[in-house]
Amino acid sequence: MLMETSEIAPAETAGIAPGAPIVHGTNVGKTFAGGSVVALEGATFDIAKGEFVSLVGPSGCGKSTLLRLISGLIDLSSGQMSVHGDPVKGPRTDVGMMFQKATLLEWRTAIENVLLPTELNGTITAKDKRHAAELLELVGLKDFMFSYPSQLSGGMQQRVALARLLQTGADVLLLDEPFGALDEFTREHLNVELMRIVAEFGATTIFVTHNITEAIFLADRVGVMTPRPGRLAAMVPVNFPRPRELSLQTTPEFNVLVEQVRNTLGSH
């Protein structure tokens, strides 16, 4: 690679992705307000098929910006980026996004919300309906298919949003603090389920969080980001076998990684 400076060196040396790269970025940068706000600078990364990457870092370090760039919701200011080998030019069907808020349509039942992406792509068939019902079952909402968002708890709403994300058929899933607004118990529970589900789908996942423990627990690699300007400071590999239990978080090996991520965050 033709990287000139050492700024992104840690990310470079943090191990090449195990499979074929699905998401690829070279020197990705984004500025706002006519260049006066540098949201992200010189991010270079490769994410392999089926890999789970967490992005962690303090507020304003460009995590959401990076996700929105990958999703094609906003355009690059500098650098190159591709998904499945195609340069990202705008929103695309093979990339799906989930936000901190469930953003469900209140006038639709859970299953109608899950079917929304299919509906936007054409007509809904009986097969689509069955698929949506299966997805709701997968996220544990079999008995709430016909509930409206206002009848569901925050955690259940996020489950619907996850089912909707899977219904898009995207194999690159971008999750921006998806459970950040939920209480800790619900969040831990959903994290475990998320791991199981994305593994089952073989989806490539990028997961943004403020929580270092959560980031490490879920990920194959943790992208550590630092602010002013936003940078991808390091990619820390996490080599614990799967499936993982919550008790993993209390092992010394796990805490070594937590320290390592924390030091990377602190040294910038």
Partner 1 sequence: MAVTDQVAGEGGGKPLMSIGMRRMINHAAIFLTLIALWEFGSRIGWLDPLFYPRPTAILESFWRIYVTQANVWHHLYVSLGLVFIGFAAGSILGVGLGALVGFNPVVRRFLQPYVIVLEATPRIAVAPLLIAALGFGAPPKIAIIMLVCFFAPFINTLSGVVNVNEEKLELFRSMGASKMQTLRKLVLPEAVPVIMAGERLALTAALSGVLVAEFILRDQGIGALILTYTRNLNMASAFACIFTLTIIGFLIFKGMEVLDHRIAFWNHSDATDRMSEKRARAWGNLTGGRNV
CA distances from 140 to 20, 107, 135 (A): 32, 21, 9
Shortest CB 106 distance to partner 1, Å? 4
What's at 36, amino acid-wise? Answer: S
Identify what 112 binds: ligand ATP, partner 1, Mg ion, none; CB under 5 to 8 Å per kind.
partner 1
111 belongs to the binding site for partner 1 (CB under 8 A):
yes
Among 64, 71, 109, 113, binds ligand ATP (CB under 6 A): 64
Q: How far is the CB of 1 from partner 1 (least distance, A)?
A: 30
Write out the two tokens for 60. Answer: 């304003």
* Position 29 contacts ligand ATP (CB under 6 A): no
Gap between the Cα atoms of 259 and 255, Å rounded: 6
Residues with Cβ within 8 Å of residue 232, at least 6 apart in sequence: 8, 11, 42, 43, 44, 45, 66, 223, 224, 225
Structure tokens of 59?
């507020």
Question: Binding residue for partner 1 (CB under 8 A) from 65, 71, 158, 204?
Answer: 71
Rounded to the nearest whole angstrom, what is the least distance from the CB of residue 12 to partner 1 in the complex?
A: 30
64 binds Mg ion (CB under 5 A): yes
Nearest-angstrom CA–CA distance, 212 and 220: 14
Task: Give min distance, CB of 47 to partner 1, in A.
Answer: 18
Q: How far is the CB of 247 from ligand ATP (least distance, A)?
A: 28
Stretch that binds partner 1, among 7-15, 108-116, 217-225, 242-250 (CB under 8 A): 108-116
Is 158 a binding residue for Mg ion by CB under 5 A? The answer is no
75: tokens are 């355009």
Span from 9-17, 31-39, 125-133, 145-153 in contact with ligand ATP (CB under 6 A): 31-39
What does the alpha-carbon distance between residue 95 and residue 73 come to, in Å, rounded to a whole number?
A: 11
Alpha carbon of 53 to those of 11, 75, 146: distances in Å? Answer: 13, 22, 33
Site string for partner 1, 142-161 (x = CB under 8 A): ---xxxxxxx----------
Tokens of 90: 């705008």
Residue 222's DSSP bridge partners are 54, 236
Task: Pick the closest to residue 196 from 243, 162, 240 (CA basis).
Answer: 243
Question: Could you tell which of partner 1, Mg ion, ligand ATP, none binds residue 142, using a CB distance below 5 to 8 A set by kind?
Answer: none
CA distance 249 to 152: 30
Alpha carbons 200 and 183: distance in angstroms, whole number: 26
| Region from 63-71, 76-84, 181-189, 231-239 binding ligand ATP, contact rule CB under 6 A | 63-71
In the list 9, 19, 32, 259, the residue contacting ligand ATP (rule: CB under 6 A) is 32
Q: Enumerate binding residues for partner 1 (CB under 8 A).
A: 71-73, 91-93, 95-97, 99, 101, 103, 105-107, 109, 111-112, 115-117, 119-121, 123-127, 129-130, 145-151, 168
